[in-house]
Amino acid sequence: MNLIERISVGAKGEATTVVRPEVTVRHFHPLMPEAYGTPFMIYLMEVAASNAVQSGMPEGWVTVGVEVNIRHMAATPVGRTVVARATVIEVSDRWIRFEVEAHDGIHTIGKGTHTRAPVELERFNAALAKGM
C-alpha cells in the first residue's frame, strides 16, 4: 500500500473525553492525586491520530501506534473535558508521524509526537491469535 498517495500532510483528527475518577492516577494508586492520568491522555492522542487518517485507509486496514514522545504538562481534575488533536506532519511508505496535543479547556496539558503504522486487520489479528 502506498501511504503517500492516501494520506496528506496536514490531515487533522480529534478525540474528546470527560475526565472521570477511573482515568485518574488515584484510581490506581490511592496516595496519588485525583488528576487525569498520563496513559489516558496518550491514548486519547492516539485516537485523535487514528481519526486523522482512518478515512484514507483501504477497507480492512487500520493504523497502530508504534512510537510516542509526549510531555504531560499540566494536571486536569475530574469533570473537565479534554480534547486531543493530531496533525499529520510526515508520511512515508511505512508509517505516519503526527504532532499531537491535548487541552483541557484551560491549559494545554500535553504535547509531543506520535507515529502510527498501517496494518491489515485480518492478518494482524491472526498473528495476534498465534502469539505474534
Please give the tally of structural domains in the chain.
1
Catalytic residues: 38, 46, 72
What's the rounded mean pLDDT across residues 109-123? Answer: 96
Question: What are the pLDDT digits (tens) for 36-85?
Answer: 999 999 999 999 999 999 999 999 999 999 999 999 999 999 999 999 99
Domain encompassing residue 22: 3-129
Question: What is the C-alpha to C-alpha distance for residues 114 and 27, in angstroms, rounded to an integer?
Answer: 26
| CATH code of the domain containing 57 | 3.10.129.10
Mean pLDDT of the chain: 95
Residue 26: predicted pLDDT: 93
What SS3 state is found at 124?
Answer: helix
- pLDDT above 90 (res 121): yes
